[in-house]
Copies of this chain bind each other. A is one copy, B any other.
């Protein structure tokens, strides 16, 4: 096949389509996150990481999750999550509770203020996604993109 002659697979080469997909993946993610977070900041909302925590908690029974579960949901390092939860707790959006079943663990529980913030934040967030993603892809293209990214994620 033609491209394989120009860029044979081997020790140190890479098909250009992979390289381009890789560089664009990084640029698209960073550019869009920056643009969307700037819009949220302009609306006096906290960073997306705060939303992510509140969303995970909101989805669960009793709006609570063990830190270790939050950690694996959000793909965060343990020490990173520990300090993120510190900040949310300091802002009164979550509280920590000790865990009967396993005293090593701690629950992270959304407070009413945390749930209210997530609810207020969602329309602004959705509008920003609509503006930056929805305006550039059709629904079919978005579905195709989600499918390809799913493969990268092993789904």
Contacts and interface: CB of A to CB of B under 8 A. Distances in A.
A42 interface: no
A31 B122 contact: no
A77 to B, nearest CB: 9
Contacts of A137: 18, 21, 148, 151-152
Contact of A146 (B17, B30, B32): B17
Interface stretch (A8-16, A91-99, A108-116): A8-16
Nearest to A154: B136
Interface of A: 3, 7, 9, 11-15, 17-22, 24-34, 75, 122-124, 126-127, 129-130, 133-134, 136-137, 139-146, 148-154
B12 A123 contact: yes
30 contacts: A3-B139, A7-B126, A9-B130, A12-B127, A13-B126, A14-B129, A15-B134, A17-B139, A17-B140, A17-B142, A17-B146, A18-B133, A18-B137, A19-B129, A21-B133, A21-B143, A21-B149, A22-B133, A24-B146, A25-B28, A25-B145, A26-B33, A27-B149, A27-B153, A28-B149, A31-B75, A31-B153, A137-B148, A145-B148, A148-B148
Contacts of A13: 126
A59 to B, nearest CB: 10
B28 A152 contact: yes
Given A9-B134, A17-B143, 7 more contacts: A12-B123, A15-B139, A26-B29, A27-B75, A28-B29, A34-B75, A145-B149
